Amino acid sequence: MTNPSASPSRSERFEAEALVHLGPLYRTALRLTGNDADAQDLVQEAVLRAFRFFDSFEPGTNCRAWLFRILMNTFVNEYRKRVRGPHQVDLDETTMSTLESRADQAIVSLPATPEEVVFAGMLDGDLKEGLWALPAEFRAAVLLCDVEEFSYKEIAEMTQVPVGTVMSRIHRGRRALREFLLRRAKPVRALSAGA
Amino acid sequence: MDCREIQEQITAFVDRELPPEESARLSEHLHACSSCRAAEERERDVKRLVRSRCADLTLPHGFAERIRASLPGDDAARPVPAARPEPRTGRSSRIAGGGAPRAYSGWLAAAAIGFLAIAGTLVWSRSGVEPVLAEALVDEHARFAKGLDLGIRESDPKSAAAWLSEAAGSSVPVPDLRPKGARMVGAQMCRLLTQGHGAVVYDVEGHPVTLFIPPSGMIEPSADGTSSEGWRSVRVKGRNAVAWKDARGGICWAVSDLPHARMREIVTVAAADR
């Protein structure tokens, strides 16, 4: 038996090492599930799972990455199956190539204007919609990379796909997102051009 | 360098994921190629946009407190934890079954027949999350016992297994307990803390008994890593619960107001039948 006064208890360690990452976990869960209630459920489920397997976490390694791995695992293996049922149309090769070709067209057809300016006027709701329009795998890869700043290798481990697939998802995800946002922004751009 | 070929490399370049020498080569190309440079800028613009607009860290009011309250304490062995699970609401505690099953397949039959070959080892993990789970299970059982919230009313184990498996997205074996006088009443998929279980409600001489069965897809082989022997029995909120590990390695639970020994006897029958 360990003496609780001599070393921090399991709960104390979990609080210090894991619960400090609730914010990032929640914001990612929110964009994966698309709503607050499901995001809370997903995070709670992942955190309880993490607590349960906290002994398998190696102290000194990246706890945040470990938690996100559990979050992604919970999302893919349990949440999606249960919330949307087994008949959800998942991302397949056709969807991927369609997305890619649409993104390719967008890049060819849309003029290379200072998009930062266009994007600056973008509403959060537009971005939210754009992200939501992406297949979950693409959305997750983009968020884990751009917002959470995980490396491709870490994302590959979390989502259990090769690094090359991670890169491809990020690449295609960003292009599809850009296409969506530029379409959404077109009227604004026309308006500002006319002004 | 072929401009078309390096599109994905631009992504890795922007994310600083290229090895130094490749990065240098690409950088050189970008310097000379305005079209690829524009592609790089587009990529950076989207990345910046996502980063700046999605970086909010605000948690919903009371969420962190609810998470903390739902964690079990350090004493894994106590039967009734002081920390109670998050208050259960209709929204978060349960989801409806994922639609009606369409067809019954042979492999499900095999899974159902193979149910409950008692492993005889392990049931209780070191982490102590199970006492909390037991409490939640008892709450679920109490609702089912009142006839509330059942996804289907069904007396045939095979149909129930097919329905649950469809809803869970992976096989949920349902034992036929009729030889022990347990009549199936119905089933539901329920979401319980860390786990989603198929719940099957039986009637044993007027006593409702709920079996909680994890779908195969959520069983993590050897993840628990404990080695205690046989059954685990607890009494929680005035109900009896027993847990055991089935042939697949999944931890199953039964809850009722019947004595522990009687419950063990009822659910063991399926193993004997194999």
The larger pLDDT score, comparing residue B193 to residue B242, is at B242
pLDDT given at position B236: 80
Burial class for A58, CB neighbours closer than 10 Å (0-12, 13-18, 19+): exposed
Q: pLDDT at residue B132 above 60?
A: no
Measured between CA atoms, the residue of chain B closest to residue A13 is B74
pLDDT in tens, A164-173: 999 999 999 9
pLDDT given at position A116: 53
What's the token pair of residue B135? 């409490």
Q: Which residues of chain A from 57 to 76 reach within 8 Å of chain B, CB to CB?
A: none
**In the block, residue with structure tokens 């899974």:** B111
In chain A, domain spans: 10-84, 93-194
Note the helical H segments in chain B: 7-14, 20-32, 34-53, 63-70, 90-93, 106-113, 130-145, 157-168, 260-273
Q: Which of B127, B190, B219 to mutate to test the interface with A (most CBs of A within 10 A)?
A: B127
Q: State how far residue A24 is from chain B, nearest Cα, in angstroms.
A: 6
- How is domain A10-84 classified at the CATH fold level? Rna Polymerase Sigma Factor; Chain: A (1.10.1740)
pLDDT in tens, A55-64: 888 887 889 9
At B244, which amino acid appears? W
pLDDT in tens, B94-121: 322 333 332 323 323 223 222 222 222 2
Cβ neighbours of B12 in A, within 8 Å:
152, 167
Cβ neighbours of B38 in A, within 8 Å:
112
Contact: A82, B191; criterion CB under 8 Å: yes
* Rounded distance between C-alpha atoms, residue B11 and residue B5, angstroms: 12
In the DSSP assignment, the letter for residue B59 is P
**Interface predicted TM-score of the whole assembly (ipTM), two decimals:** 0.78
Q: Which residues of chain B from 59 to 78 reach within 8 Å of chain A, CB to CB?
A: 59-60, 63-64, 66-68, 70-74
One DSSP character per residue, B208-251 reads EEEEEE--GGG--TT-S----BS-EEEEETTEEEEEEE-TTS-E
Cβ neighbours of B91 in A, within 8 Å:
37
What's the token pair of residue A179? 């296409």
> What are the Cα distances from residue B202, in Å, to A16, B47, B121, B161, B188?
44, 54, 26, 14, 12
Q: Which residues of chain A from 171 to 190 reach within 8 Å of chain B, CB to CB?
A: 171, 174-175, 177-178, 181
Contact: B70, A37; criterion CB under 8 Å: no
Please calculate the CA angle B118-B123-B129 and round it to the nearest 5 degrees. Answer: 150
pLDDT in tens, B218-240: 776 554 444 344 678 888 878 88
Contact: A178, B46; criterion CB under 8 Å: yes
Contacting residues for A148 by C-beta, under 8 A, at least 6 apart = A24, A28, A64, A68
pLDDT given at position B224: 46
- How is domain A93-194 classified at the CATH fold level? Arc Repressor Mutant, subunit A (1.10.10)
Q: Which of B8, B49, B132 to mutate to test the interface with A (most CBs of A within 10 A)?
A: B49
* Rounded distance between C-alpha atoms, residue B1 and residue B33, angstroms: 10
Which residue of A22, A55, A170 is in closest CB contact with B67? Answer: A22
Which residue of B43, B86, B217 is in closest CB contact with A77? Answer: B217
Q: Which of A122-136, B40-54, B112-126 has the lowest mean pLDDT?
A: B112-126
Q: State how far residue A99 is from chain B, nearest Cα, in angstroms.
A: 15
Q: State how far residue B47 is from chain A, nearest Cα, in angstroms.
A: 6
Average model confidence (pLDDT) across chain B? 71
